[in-house]
Structure 1
Amino acid sequence: MEKIINENVLIQSLLQCTPDFMYFKDVNCRYVAVSNSYATQLNSTAFDMVDKTDFDFMPVELADKLFLEDKKVIQTGEALVDKLEKRKCPRGSDMWLSVTKVPWKNAAGEIVGIIGVCREMTERAEREKHILDMLSIATHDMRGPLISIGSMIKLLIRGAFGSIDESVKVTLLDISGRLGRLEKLMGEYLCKSSLMNVKTPDKEFLDLRQDIIDPILEEFLSEIEENNIRIDNRLGAIPGNKVIIQANAKWIRIVYRNLIRNAIKYAASGQIAFGFEDKGDHYQLNVYNSGPPVHPDKWTTIFEKFESSDSTGLGLAICRNLIQKHGGNMWYENTWDDHPNFIFTIPK
């Protein structure tokens, strides 16, 4: 005899047994049913949570965030899938969760609420952080020697240690190019690991010219000289005075290093200039080069990951992300004489 198992029994069995935090909410974001594991996590019971909302169990700020998130799924019908987020447990410890929310529909296809599943990912997140830490250490330790080797090869090419055969010079140029690409690749992985490990920057007061721009220009001195590039480091109308900003030194160096590297690439035998304006509640900075302009169709997409065919395609995406983590923004526009100009802001 065929056994017909009531769907409610199946759902109740799932809610009782699953280790995941699972719940059903109605269109008013009230709990209809929850898993035992979720109720336990919130220091409650599955029975007591019915007809209540997140505001009954969570801090107001978090409950507000979840309410808006739930309402968006209900109103748009678009699922939220595998969103990784960090939450504070009622017991005080931090927890990483993979959050999925989908519209809950009745037999007529009408949305009557949401179904949510939160899977604890703390162990995986910590493991990934450890991997990123190791990647950061490895790339940082290897990048310095690579830069030194590259500089030595450039000196050989320029005849600093005596003349060399043309065939040897061609080989050294090829090696130099490969080292440059490898160094850039490692630099971008270093940036990416730094970006993923830190959510909020530690800020300090920095002399923009002395602490940031000049040291990076020194790093690229040989490339600047080889390409006959003129540097305008007067920072607009402040040629001699110190320009002090408050920012994360490591992150701002990453931004300027990427922008200067790109400027050198496209401004051969031209000029690179740096700008600074005090806009009241924020600083506006820019890096200009006299190379060919970016087509208007690319003004937005150049900041997207993998848009560039060079190296990892992460450089400008990382730069904008770092600036946004400071609370600022980054964009591109052509100058009045049709040359590239990358502009970004940093709040005071």
Structure 2
Amino acid sequence: MPSKSDVTMPGISADELDKTKDVYRSLQEKLEYLFDSLAREKINLELQMIEAKKFKLAVDSASDNIVITDSMGTIFYINKATENNTGYAFNEVVGKNPGELWGGKMKPEYYAEMWHKIKVKKEVFVGQFENVRKNGEKYIAAVDISSVLDEYGEILFFVSIERDITREIMIERMKDEFVGLASHQLRTPLTGIKWFSELLIRNKYNNLNAEQLDFLEQIKISNQRMVKLVNELLDISHIETGQKFEIKKADFKVNDVLNEVLTENISLIKTKTLNIINKIPDNLLIFADYVKIRQVLSNLVSNATKYSPANKDINISVVPDDGKGFAVISVADQGMGIPAAQKSRLFEKFFRADNARIQEPNGTGLGLYIARELIRAHGGELWFESDENKGTTFIFSIPLKIN
């Protein structure tokens, strides 16, 4: 009786049968692998669907407007917030461009800049749009638009996130208007206090004793501090409401204004026995607004004297011509310096570094903010270099005298 291995099918040899078995086993293995792959893919798809549902739920419940368009700007998705905030239903916007609906109210060059940013440079565009709801109501939106790219760097679609900031802007505008109005109203009584206190101090026949005269001096000093604060608030009001500073340019010597500022600070300079090293040539002329540059130098020199330890140097120097028609003036102290973590905030409105607040609690945090805006109004720039516990150098560029 033949063994199982000797069994053959009619017309098929044993070798052919073995090959057929091998092919079958190979197919079976491939099918098993394919079924496993499909099972894994099914699980992955289910997980992706779960994540997509979570994402859609998050997007739909977001309070900000989220709009997704194709690479040509045609809408194919908006979230619930967009429907609620614009007044347009989903089926009203799909297949259209935002400019046909709530957008398109900015100048053409603004949109050109936006498209260049997101489509050519493929970078995030951050800006503000003036939009109109379906009912005709205008609103202002803070906008971030990002491009989503495929593996080859081609644009798949754009995602726009918009937040209605109309109320915030209105509140900020009202606050600025109030500050400006209040500051103007405060000027008159402060001027009166200043005039009467100085009159009483100068009057030799007022029969005031030493203590009373000291009180008057304190009134005068407090009044000067209040006048300075009011003037700073008025400057802030100008900046925040978009009003340009009135710059009255003329030729004058830097040392003329600097000597006034040093005289203004002479009491503290003498008290601390500070050594003022002025390296500015006496014949250096600049073309600028005398009063505004005095305000800038007053702030920088005052800070240097306030934050310098006793018996230290304050260096005031200049690069007479930077090759671009500007003088570059610097005021360097050997004081406490600015903490590295807070350097980026130094020119923010109302900001004061921690170590400065400890040493000098009464500052407003407005001086440097205003000083930089004044220098920028001249076409220059104000910046600084600082090492904590070693000192700070403030530097600004200002136009030279025009021959």
Query: Does structure 1 conserve the Cα–Cα contact (< 8 Å) formed by 2:265 and 2:302?
Result: no
The farther-off stretch of 193-202 and 149-158 is 149-158
Q: Secondary structure at the match of 1:24?
A: strand
> 1:108 corresponds to which residue?
none
1:139 aligns with 2:183: yes
Partner in structure 2 of residue 280 of structure 1: 323
The answer to whether residue 141 in structure 2 is matched with residue 98 in structure 1 is: yes
Match of residue 299 from structure 2: 258
Gap runs ≥5 in structure 1: 1-6, 8-13, 15-20, 90-94, 106-110
State the alpha-carbon separation in 1 of the partners of residues 320 and 168 from structure 2: 44
Deviation per CA, 1:140-190, whole angstroms, max 9, x where unpaired?
453475367457657867996778545445544544454344333323222
Correspondence 1:342 to 2:383:
no
Letter in 2 for 1:198: G
2:161 counterpart residue number: 116
| Residue identity matched to 2:96 | M
What code does the residue aligned with 1:117 have?
Answer: E
Match of 1:185 in 2: 229
Separation (CA, whole Å) in 2 of partners of 1:226 and 1:154: 19
Once the two structures are TM-superposed, the CA of residue 307 in structure 1 deviates from its matched residue by: 1.6
Long gaps (5+) in structure 2: 1-52, 54-59, 133-137, 149-155
Give the alignment partner of residue 331 of structure 1, picking from 378, 383, 396. 383
Q: Aligned partners of 1:204 and 1:280: how far apart in 2?
A: 24
Is the alpha carbon distance of 1:317 and 1:152 closer, same or farther for their aligned partners in structure 2, counting shifts above 3 Å?
Answer: same
What amino acid does structure 2 have at the position aligned with 1:66? M
Q: Which amino acid aligns with 1:62?
A: Y
- C-alpha change, 1:201 and 1:26, in structure 2 (3 Å) is farther
Q: Does 1:49 align with 2:65?
A: no
Q: Deviations over 1:316-347 (max 9, x none)?
A: 13322443465533222479xx7654211246
Give the 3-state SS of the residue equivalent to 1:343 in structure 2.
Answer: strand
Distance 2:74 2:330 in 1: 52
* Partner SS for 2:111: helix
Cα distance per residue 1:25-60 (max 9 Å; x no partner): 3473623157799799xxxx946634999xx96755
- How far is 1:283 from its partner? 1.7
| Alignment map for 1:177-326 (pairs within 5 Å) | 177-198=221-242, 205-209=249-253, 213=257, 217=260, 223-224=264-265, 226-227=267-268, 236-237=280-281, 239-240=282-283, 242-245=285-288, 252=293, 254-263=295-304, 265-266=306-307, 273=316, 275=318, 277-286=320-329, 288=331, 292-295=334-337, 297=339, 300=343, 301-305=345-349, 306-308=351-353, 309=357, 310-324=362-376
Deviations 1:284-310 (A, max 9, x none): 343536x54242535835434422533
Which piece of structure 1 moves more, 320-329 or 266-275?
266-275
Superposition deviation, residue 207 in structure 1? 2.6
- Alpha-carbon RMSD across the aligned residues, in angstroms, is 5.6
Distance 2:252 2:319 in 1: 9
TM-score (norm 1): 0.58
CA contact 1:232–1:272 (8 Å) conserved in 2: yes
Give the Cα–Cα distance (whole angstroms) in 1 for the partners of residues 194 and 378 of structure 2: 33
Identity rate, percent: 20
Count how many residue pairs are aligned between Structure 1 and Structure 2. Answer: 300
Relative to structure 1, is the Cα distance of residues 24 and 189 closer, same or farther in structure 2, using a 3 angstrom cutoff?
same
Separation of aligned partners in 2, 1:146 and 1:140: 10
Q: What amino acid is the match of 2:337?
A: H
Q: Distance in 2 between matches of 1:250 and 1:86?
A: 38
Distance 1:293 1:263, change over 3 A: closer
| Larger deviation, residues 61-70 vs 314-323 | 61-70
Structure having the higher helix fraction is 2
Q: Which amino acid aligns with 1:49?
A: K
Does the 8 Å contact 1:39/1:49 carry over to 2? no
- Rg larger for: 2
